[in-house]
Amino acid sequence: AGTAVRGDRFSGGPAREFLSSLAADERIFEADIAVDRAHVVMLAEQGIIERSEASEILTALEAIALDGHNSLPDGEDVHEAIESAVIEQVGPVGGKMHTARSRNDEVATCLRYRLREDLLDSVSATLALRSALENVAREHGDTVMPGFTHLQPAQPTTVAHWALSYERAIARDTERLLAAYDRTNRSPLGGAAFAGTPFPIDRERTAELLGFAGIVENSMDAASARDFLLDSTAALAGLATHLSGLAEDLIVFANKGYVDLSNEYASTSSIMPQKKNPDTLELVRATAGTASAGLDGLLTTLKGLPRAYNIDLQRASGHAWSTVDAVTEATDVAAGAVASTAWNDSLLADAAGEGFTTATAVADRLAMCGLPFRTAHAILAEAAQHGGSVDAIEAAAADVLDEPLETYLTREELRALLDPVHSVENRDSRGGPAPSAVAAQLDITADALDVD
């Protein structure tokens, strides 16, 4: 009693397990070793500790790194446990490791150090998915398919145009992840508890040793800030939202027979022998829920925290880890599913014209001939009510106009306009589905994939 050393304060009590983050800290074990090393090297370079002392500590850290997280002594967290292990090995001099720092700047540095790696994995996963989509686009520039709005047949498009629509969206996710990486890539080390230190530390040096692009300048901000977790989790939640749409499309397409998922990405039913279920894609779709939970968990944990450090922050990082793990895995799975899916060209071609999807093409042509688009729309809307056949269109035109449709279009031209292939070829406006327009989009995608 009365000897208030830290070990005593964390020696027991019913909340011991509740307080400790040691188990969860396995995620940042290697990061903490790296941070300890950099800090000790800097302390020695600055003459704050003796070189011989630094060398003893570094040797102990080497051994602790080899033994791994599971060999650590008990502790409130990985930082404390590693420090205890160092002291066990080299005696009290090991306690010099924690000169001029706090666990507050230490943990913030560890999180950033580890998250960088995870963000790069997630970026790689987006690149793999984008290149799978690019390959689909290269193979299916001429494969017409129905395009939908409100899940109803709308206008014919191509598989390439569909694939690149997702590639472009996920390219922005890559950008957001890289932007999150840049903001993560700053070192808070040396901010100490939040209030700096009287020791002549060199924060730029530890940042450099740890590969950070710079430091978080304000020491209170350095210890407190977790918006790098927020940036990353938000970027991942956006990616997960895109993945859910992509998965949903493929599930619907599989349901209609437009695509065949490879068996490797499908499951069977334990009772219904005929089933081939798109289970992996459904789990990709569900990952948006995991990511949204992570983002919400983080936002609500961070909300209203006073400056500077509060141990609520210990619970913040788990939301980011669960999100990055789930979303990166789902992105990898989506890439595999996209790459191994077979497109049923002939069924798609048949379906492309179903539901009078070329009505807009006819209306557009009549408008190009000088009719107000609204009048053309009225003709085709009436024709649609009567099945959308050539006869129905002619009858509707006679009804709406004072002159026969022939004034504008021959029957032959009309028939051509009702062909989905023709319809796609005509829509060659920039960014459109015509093979010529898609070729330009493919160039953009290929260049962006090179750069990213």
Q: Helix (H, G, I), strand (E, B), or coil: what is residue 155?
A: strand
Question: At residue 68, what are phi and psi to the nearest 5 degrees?
Answer: 90, 170
* Distance in Å, CB of 65 to ligand ARG, minimum: 19
Q: Kindly provide the residue ranges of all beta strands, DSSP E only, lying in 283-425, ordered along the sequence.
A: 342-343
User: How many of the other CB atoms lie within 10 Å of CB of 334?
Assistant: 31
Of 192, 195, 197, 186, give the one whose Cα is nearest residue 48: 197
Compute the distance between CA of residue 140 and CA of residue 159 in angstroms, rounded to an integer: 6
The answer to whether the beta carbons of residues 358 and 420 sit under 8 Å apart is yes
Compute the distance between CA of residue 62 and CA of residue 48 in angstroms, rounded to an integer: 21
Q: How far apart are the first and last CA of the chain?
A: 60
Q: Omega before 308 cis (within 30°)?
A: yes
Nearer to ligand ARG by C-beta: 104 or 441? 104
Nearer to ligand ARG by C-beta: 56 or 77? 77
Compute the distance between CA of residue 264 and CA of residue 280 in angstroms, rounded to an integer: 9
The answer to whether the beta carbons of residues 59 and 36 sit under 8 Å apart is no
Over the range 226-257, which residues count as b (16 or more CB within 10 Å of their CB) and which as e?
bebbbbbbbbbbbbbbbbbebbbbbbebbeee
Q: How many residues does the chain have?
A: 452
Q: Which residues bind ligand ARG (CB under 6 A)?
A: 21, 77, 103-104, 107, 309, 311, 313-314
The answer to whether the beta carbons of residues 194 and 142 sit under 8 Å apart is no
Nearer to ligand ARG by C-beta: 159 or 324? 324
Q: What share of the chain is helix, strand, coil (3-state, %, to 5)?
A: 70, 5, 25
Nearer to ligand ARG by C-beta: 104 or 287? 104
Joined tokens for residue 10: 């964390």
* Distance in Å, CB of 106 to ligand ARG, minimum: 7
User: How many of the other CB atoms lie within 10 Å of CB of 123?
Assistant: 21
* Distance in Å, CB of 81 to ligand ARG, minimum: 10
Of 168, 89, 223, 100, give the one whose Cα is nearest residue 447: 168
Residues annotated as catalytic (active site), given as ranges: 150, 269
Nearer to ligand ARG by C-beta: 213 or 311? 311
Nearer to ligand ARG by C-beta: 10 or 148? 10
The amino acid at residue 199 is F
Q: Kindly provide the residue ranges of all beta strands, DSSP E only, lying in 203-311, ordered along the sequence.
A: 259-260
* Distance in Å, CB of 31 to ligand ARG, minimum: 12
